[in-house]
Amino acid sequence: MIPTVYIIDDDASVLISLKRLIESAGFHVETFSAADEFLKCKHSKDPSCLVLDVRLPGIDGFTLQNELSKRNISLPIIFITGHGDIPMGVKAMKKGAVDFLPKPFEDKDLLFAIEQAIHKSRQKLKQEKEISHIKSLLSAISPREYEVMRWVIAGLLNKQIARKMGITEKTIKVHRGRVMKKLQVGSVAELVRLLEKVGISPPES
Amino acid sequence: MRYEKMTKEQLINELGKLQRHITKLEILKDKYKQSLKEIESLEQKMEFILGVTNTRMDIIDSEFNIHYVDRESQKIYGDPKGKRCYEYSLGRNEPCLDCQIVKAMSTKSHIVSERILPMENNRPVQVITVPFQNDKGEWFVAEIKVDITERKKAEKALRDSETKFRILSEKSPNMIFINKQGKVVYANKRCEEIMGYQKEEFYSPDFDFRCLIAPEYREIIKKNFNKHMKGEEVSPIEYTNITKEGKRIESMLATKLIAYEGDKAILGIVTDITKLKEAERILKRDKETFERLVNEKTQELLKIQKQLSDAKRLSDIGLLAASIAHELNQPLTAIMSNAQAMQRIMASRNPDMAEIHEIVSDIIKEDRRASDIIRESRTLLKRSELNLEQLNINDVIKEIIPLIHSEVIIKKVLLKLDLDEGIPPVRGDRIQLQQVILNLIANGMEAMNNVKSKNLIIRTEQTTNLTVRVSVEDSGTGVDENHIADIFEPFYTTTKDGMGMGLAIVHSIIDTHGGKLWAKNNPDHGTTFFFTVPVAMDRSDQRK
């Protein structure tokens, strides 16, 4: 599973030199001379990142960054620019860019940034995978079990939950057992951590 | 005793008596006739006087029957015979409710009243109702009606003038007062409103008007009042009033000496100028700030001018530097990345020699690209003497396009070249003409900063046998028609950052070339800048 580095720069010479450099560091590289070309292509499901020139004909780098976040594509971005100034860099970093490199740059700076970006991408993919796993587990939970589960992570005892829901303590116990089994957790602490990842919180009061 | 029984002597005696009686009677008769004449004459005189003075007179008894009416009245009201007074002069069926005749008769004293005469154009009269008794003891009244039209008019005029005065004074937005011998004898409503004292307080004998004046102004006002008393004129002064609450009010006081109730007094008009003074202060402060700013800006400008005289093309260099830096960074990045990629490839176990060759030739190519850019910019930036040569203006334009290439992309400008390839060569300084075109392009792009559709067209054409014309057309905001003549003046700028030197430099370059420079707003959007350069005379000497 070789990580992919996408490069977008309108200068063909720059594009090919960067492709050579990044490939020499063992990454898979795909190049584009304009942002819309990149948006049209199919993106890798494996860890990947984007080396992006700020000033481009048509859609510029910042616009592309916004567009990707709008489309919910979490692709770490390293900006490169021939017009680098600090305010522009700050703007890019604030919007979540991994790095902002003024041209010309040292290979180690670029490659370090790419490694960081790939690491970030890997983390993100892992997290997304975990979340989708949890979500698939949660799909087996019945509405009644779901309700019990939320009271459980609020720290309520079976007796208290029974009173709240108007059913017997014994039934609560059964529901609780099923939830733990379906979600493959051994303790309430584990359950809380798991649900936190998918944003499920205890009921309010 | 009967005459038949009388003696002769007795009869003679009696006859004598009778004779004497007859004589007496004759005398009396004469006297009576005389009296009648006198009465008639008196009556005529009276009627004359009544007529001349437009005075009416009548005599009425207690039953309202008319006994006498002057002749003038009879002319107007007719024969009074058999009529009651109210029927005769008022046309009423019964006595008036406030009948003065009844009142006069009951009080036995004369009454003065005023009435209008409805039958005589409502003219006002004063009626004197005089009761009297005839020798038989019967009561009558004589009514004498004196015309008072003039008096009424005068009274109304007085009333009107008083009303006017009251409105003028009491509704005045200014404070008005009269000061007689140090005492306030009149203060208008505004004085109460502003100063917070009631009129009674102002007029009180214990009231010291100096308490209304801020202490620092009391002396000058006293002096002014004294001047007035000596009959001198006094100019209005600005001073400060102090209200009952102790509030200070900036005021303007105008005074005049007047005669008031038989004495000299001072009439004063006070205007509250607090707001005015405040505005004045703000204005003054603003003016000072403005002057300071102008001074600062002038200093700055002088400094800039000094810098400019030192390096006249500073602004253009700045503009160029940014785009040169960007242009240069591209090949530098390519060289750096290529070289470092090569390093890595060489360090690997099986370096691909073919790829290395490719990389090296790319590095050389990029290096050339960088030197080209540097050379091009060096010639552009170099300050040089006017170096006239035969040039193809189209080539001059094409040479600078790469320099603005990235600026055009960044600003999303649609650049179009419409060059007439058939134009003859011109005589000019390549670098300076490039500077002119660059400046005009920069200017056009600037003008399109805030418009959506950005089109820049550079055109060349031969207009006469002797000149070639270059135009740079933008689709920007256009130039204010009122200022289209000013735009070539140094320091004329519409942008915050510009120094306003660009077009002035363009102007001076075209001037030294013997060409013309002008601008015209396009019929739809934007402006077109035109300049001409003379065609080279010697065609045989083609440019290198």
Residue-wise DSSP of B308-360: HHHSTTHHHHHHHHHHHHHHHHHHHHHHHHHHHHHHHHHHSSS--HHHHHHHH
Q: B77 pLDDT exceeds 70?
A: yes
Nearest to B502 by CA among B421, B423, B430, B444: B444
Q: B131 pLDDT exceeds 90?
A: yes
Tell me how many residue pairs between chain A and chain B have CB atoms under 8 A apart. Answer: 88
Calpha distance B64→B74 (Å, rounded): 17
Q: Is A90 in contact with A125 (CB distance < 8 Å)? A: no
- How far is CA B26 from its chain centroid? 97
Among B324, B327, B333, pick the best mutation site for testing chain A contact (most A Cβ within 10 A): B333
Q: What is the rounded average pLDDT for all residues in chain A?
A: 89
Chain B hits for A56, Cβ within 8 Å: 409
Exposure pattern of B27-63 as b/e (b: 16+ CB <10 Å)? eeeeeeeeeeeeeeeeeeeeeeebeeeebbbbbbbee
Residue A188 in tokens: 């309430």
Least Cα separation, residue B411 to chain A (angstroms)? 9
pLDDT band at A28 (very low <50, low <70, confident <90, very high): very high
Interface contact A45, partner B, CB < 8 A: no
Q: Is A4 in contact with A29 (CB distance < 8 Å)? A: yes
Q: What is the rounded average pLDDT for all residues in chain B?
A: 85
Q: B60 pLDDT exceeds 50?
A: yes
* For residues B351-355, average pLDDT: 87
DSSP codes of every residue in A184-196: T-SSHHHHHHHHH
Long-range contacts of B210-217 (CB under 8 A, 24+ apart): B211/B242, B212/B241, B212/B242, B213/B239, B213/B240, B213/B241, B213/B242, B214/B239, B214/B240, B214/B241, B214/B242, B214/B248, B216/B240
pLDDT band at B378 (very low <50, low <70, confident <90, very high): low
* Strand-by-strand arrangement of the B139-147 sheet: B66-69, B56-61, B139-147, B123-133, B111-117
The confidence score (pLDDT) of residue B198 equals 92
Question: Cα–Cα distances in Å, from A50 out to A5, A62, B183?
Answer: 6, 13, 94
The confidence score (pLDDT) of residue B541 equals 45
Dihedral over Cα of B182, B183, B185, B189: its sign: positive
Q: What single DSSP character describes residue B84?
A: B
Report if pTM > 0.90: no
Q: Which residue of B has its CA nearest to A61?
A: B410
* For residues A177-184, average pLDDT: 92
- Report CA dihedral (A118, A122, A128, A133) to the nearest 10 degrees: 160
Question: CB under 8 Å to B113, separation ≥6 — which residues?
Answer: B100, B126, B127, B129
The three-state secondary structure class of B297 is helix
Nearest to B187 by CA among B81, B111, B270: B270
Least Cα separation, residue A11 to chain B (angstroms)? 7
Q: Is B197 in contact with B275 (CB distance < 8 Å)? A: no
* For residues A172-180, average pLDDT: 92
- Residue B214's Cβ-count burial label (10 Å; 0-12, 13-18, 19+) is middle
B506 vs A29, higher pLDDT: A29
Chain B hits for A104, Cβ within 8 Å: 329, 332-333, 335-337
Length of chain A counted residue by residue: 205
Other beta carbons within 10 Å of B92: 12
pLDDT band at B96 (very low <50, low <70, confident <90, very high): confident
Calpha distance A25→B228 (Å, rounded): 105
Among B294-298, B396-400, B451-455, which is the least confidently predicted range? B294-298
Interface contact B373, partner A, CB < 8 A: no
Class of domain B387-543: alpha beta
Residue with tokens 């003549």: B485
Nearest to B250 by CA among B222, B219, B281, B228: B281
> Which runs of E-coded beta strand occur in B226-291?
237-242, 248-260, 263-272
Q: A50 pLDDT exceeds 90?
A: yes
Calpha distance A91→B276 (Å, rounded): 50
Query: For the segment A89-134, what is each residue's pLDDT rounded down to a tens digit?
Result: 788 888 888 888 888 888 999 999 999 999 999 999 999 899 999 9
Question: Cα–Cα distances in Å, from A83 out to A53, A101, A120, B445?
Answer: 10, 10, 27, 18
The three-state secondary structure class of A101 is strand
Nearest to A122 by CA among A47, A67, A177: A47
Dihedral over Cα of B164, B170, B175, B180: its sign: positive
Calpha distance B222→B31 (Å, rounded): 82
Question: Cα–Cα distances in Å, from B383 out to A62, B177, B378, B435?
Answer: 39, 80, 9, 11
Class of domain B54-147: alpha beta
Least Cα separation, residue B369 to chain A (angstroms)? 11
Q: Chain B, 129-168: which have a CB under 8 Å from a chain A CB?
A: none
Q: Which residue of A has its CA nearest to B348?
A: A24
The confidence score (pLDDT) of residue B380 equals 57
Share of residues in chain B with pLDDT > 70 (%): 90
Q: What is the CA radius of gyration of chain A?
A: 24
Of B330, B336, B341, the CB nearest to A11: B330
* Alpha helices, H only, chain A: 12-24, 35-40, 61-70, 86-94, 107-138, 143-153, 158-165, 169-182, 188-197
Same fold yes or no, B161-272 and B387-543: no
pLDDT band at B328 (very low <50, low <70, confident <90, very high): confident
CB contact under 8 A, B341 and A107: yes
**Residues forming beta bridges with residue A6, ordered by sequence position:** A30, A50
Domain boundaries, chain B: 1-52, 54-147, 161-272, 276-378, 387-543
pLDDT band at B406 (very low <50, low <70, confident <90, very high): confident
Nearest to B73 by CA among B83, B63, B100: B83
Calpha distance B514→B506 (Å, rounded): 12
Question: CB under 8 Å to A156, separation ≥6 — which residues?
Answer: A164
Least Cα separation, residue A125 to chain B (angstroms)? 29
Calpha distance B220→B441 (Å, rounded): 70
* For residues B414-429, average pLDDT: 92
Looking only at the bridges linking them, the beta strands covering A77-81 and A48-53 are parallel
Q: B500 pLDDT exceeds 70?
A: no
CB contact under 8 A, B341 and A103: no
Nearest to A45 by CA among A128, A133, A134, A136: A128
pLDDT band at B144 (very low <50, low <70, confident <90, very high): very high
Among A47-51, B267-271, B431-435, B528-532, which is the least confidently predicted range? B431-435
Q: Is B390 in contact with B351 (CB distance < 8 Å)? A: no
- Residue B18's Cβ-count burial label (10 Å; 0-12, 13-18, 19+) is exposed
Nearest to A83 by CA among B325, B469, B416: B325
Interface contact A17, partner B, CB < 8 A: yes
Chain B hits for A102, Cβ within 8 Å: 329
Q: What single DSSP character describes residue B484?
A: T
Q: Chain B, 401-440: which have a CB under 8 Å from a chain A CB?
A: 406, 409-410
Q: Is A54 in contact with A77 (CB distance < 8 Å)? A: no
* For residues A13-29, average pLDDT: 93
CB contact under 8 A, B359 and A20: yes
CATH superfamily to which B161-272 belongs: PAS domain (3.30.450.20)
The confidence score (pLDDT) of residue B468 equals 94
Q: B375 pLDDT exceeds 80?
A: no
Calpha distance B544→B44 (Å, rounded): 138
* For residues B345-359, average pLDDT: 87
Query: For the segment B260-302, what is each residue's pLDDT rounded down to a tens digit?
Result: 888 899 999 999 898 888 888 888 888 888 788 888 877 777 7
Of A13, A16, A110, the CB nearest to B330: A13
Calpha distance B63→B141 (Å, rounded): 11
Share of residues in chain B with pLDDT > 90 (%): 35
Nearest to A83 by CA among B329, B370, B114: B329
Least Cα separation, residue A2 to chain B (angstroms)? 18
